[in-house]
Amino acid sequence: MSFKVKDHYYKKAKRENFLARSVYKLDEIDNKYNVIKKNDRVLDLGYFPGSWIQYVSAKIGNDGLVVGLDIQEINTKLLHIKNVELFRSDIFEVKKLVDLNVSSPFNVVISDMAPKTTGIKCVDQDRSLGLVEEVFNILPIFLGVGGNFVIKIFDSQQAQTFLRANGKKLFQEFYLYKPKSTRSVSKEFFAVGKKYKNQG
């Protein structure tokens, strides 16, 4: 079953010229929760190779902006797109809006970041939660009040506890969701926050 799913979305992505099958996860999330709209300014954490960038760029239109950040080398295939800006950096190094060449917070922050996996379940879960905690740390800097949020996380008791404690506190609406296009063997899921609250 898992191979069928992989095969279907992998082939579909190739056919539709997307850089990764992950695009269908964001597509499902966005269709269900209306996270991204025309003219939005969007921050994509862990964008490489860039299928989410392709999706967002088309959705926001020419007056929007999508900024991508990843530790991997800049994907030059995306550089010709007018409303896209890419940075090579570690999430743990980015602390200010000027680090991303912007002067005001984003309308939407999305993160598909995944740690380098070891195959040791609890290590991978801890690393994934470490990335998620860092995103929550920098959220007050990068996400504007009223903004929307999507983040991937490997499932664990600690992850569930962390998200349930922080999600409702920080967002007017908060959901946990596993897209159908996620491989059935995968333990990842997504948290979706809508209408970021004023923390001041």
Cβ nearer to ligand SAM, comparing 131 with 170: 131
- Distance between CA atoms of 128 and 43, rounded to whole angstroms? 19
Among this protein's residues, is 194 annotated catalytic?
no
Q: Which residues contact 116 (CB under 8 A, 6 or more apart)?
A: 127
Q: Is the peptide bond before 49 cis (omega within 30 degrees of 0)?
A: yes
Binding residue for ligand SAM, selected from 36, 86, 91, 129, defined by CB under 6 A: 91
| Chosen residue from 9, 50, 56, 107 binding ligand SAM by CB under 6 A | 50
Binder among 9, 13, 22, 106 for ligand SAM (CB under 6 A): 22
The answer to whether residue 174 forms part of the interface with ligand SAM (CB under 6 A) is: no
Query: Which of 46, 64, 147, 167 forms a contact with ligand SAM (CB under 6 A)?
Result: 46
Contacts of 19 (CB under 8 A, 6+ apart): 13, 49, 50, 51, 54, 75, 77, 78
Stretch of 18-26, 59-67, 154-162, 179-187 contacting ligand SAM, by CB under 6 A: 18-26
Instruction: Determine the residue type at 91.
Output: I
Q: How far apart are CA 124 and CA 196, in angstroms?
A: 28
Residues 112-171 that bind ligand SAM (CB under 6 A): 112-115, 131
Tokens in use for 139? 């959220």
* Catalytic annotation, pick one of 152, 194, 195, 197: 152
Three-class DSSP category at 53: helix
Near ligand SAM by CB under 6 A: residue from 9, 24, 52, 106: 52
Q: Which of the stretches 110-118, 143-151, 153-161, 192-200 binds ligand SAM when contact is defined by CB under 6 A?
A: 110-118
Using the rule CB under 6 A, is 20 a contact of ligand SAM? yes
Q: Residue of minimal CB distance from ligand SAM? A: 46
Q: Strand, coil or helix: what is 158?
A: helix
**Rounded to an integer, what distance in angstroms lies between the CA atom of residue 66 and that of residue 198?**
23
Residues 36, 40, 42, 47: which binds ligand SAM (CB under 6 A)?
47
Q: Measured between alpha carbons, how far is 124 from 158 in angstroms, rounded to an integer?
A: 12
Residue numbers at the binding site for ligand SAM (CB under 6 A): 19-20, 22-23, 46-52, 69-72, 90-92, 112-115, 131
